[in-house]
Structure 1
């Protein structure tokens, strides 16, 4: 039970870390910079992350800086989450919609995707793309569900042109 809660805590921190890095292109650029010295990168890591992540994860980040691998941090963290999902039988679904989805809509879409994907656990990532006009596009693994207004208009245009 203790090991499982530690894993869940680590997963939560890794997700926060990825979000922080993805929200700050300057930070990612600084950590990947070949010009910035290792000590400077470690100082940045300590200043930004010391109160946000546990000591094990912080030490891992410093180790990556020492080994000059901190530039591929997002790839490493993404792979960690991928392995976690595989081991926990959690499917990752990406849903792109024209507007922000309500919690009720997310719940309905999650239920539909669980039925289609044949999985019990699902992690939902939402994105916004106004070019869809309306509806959504969901993808789980190699399966794609396109329920967007933009694709329906395109199909209608193709059928009218025949």
Structure 2
């Protein structure tokens, strides 16, 4: 991933600079999250953009028709630039790097939360407040995922810190305690 990060950083940094100069960074971050979601959920889109059969102009037209109504000109220009430079296949890396730089600039902590079931809005709000307290920050960006193997509860990852409040984790701890006894 370091090579991909090295390739993605200049594009991500340029997008952040454009966003800051136009005071659109927050909107661009929201667009980046939505685009990442669309990109990761559509294998057809990824395949088309990575296809050597589709010309650069064809890719740019496809991007224009797919996204011109839903994203800002700055984000659309990034997509077209990546297509021009034969780098559209690394769109996810560029957007993830952009979000890293954006969070760093804004002092936002990223927390990965995995729960056994989908969390309600109220549960997400409570969890966000708890994570802010644990992280010692006023801004937290939460990446939610569901893993039924947890049986119940959730696991929070803040950098290298892991808070395992899952039933699976408690059963594992109990097993370790019994093994020591």
Normalising by structure 2, report the TM-score.
Answer: 0.82
For the residue of structure 2 that corresponds to 1:127, the secondary structure is strand
C-alpha deviation, 1:43, in angstroms = 2.1
- How many residues are matched? 161
1:36 matched to 2:54: yes
Matches within 5 A, 1:1-162: 5-162=23-180
Unaligned runs of 5+ in 2: 1-19
Aligned to 2:9: none
List structure 1 segments (4+ residues) > 6 angstroms apart after TM superposition.
Answer: none
C-alpha deviation, 1:3, in angstroms = 5.5
C-alpha deviation, 1:5, in angstroms = 4.7
Give the superposed CA RMSD. 1.7
For the residue of structure 2 that corresponds to 1:36, the secondary structure is coil
C-alpha deviation, 1:82, in angstroms = 0.7
Unaligned runs of 5+ in 1: none
Cα displacement string for residues 107-128 of structure 1 (whole angstroms, at most 9, x for unaligned residues):
2211221111111111112100
**Distance change (3 Å), C-alpha of 1:139 and 1:46:** same
C-alpha deviation, 1:50, in angstroms = 1.2
C-alpha deviation, 1:35, in angstroms = 3.8
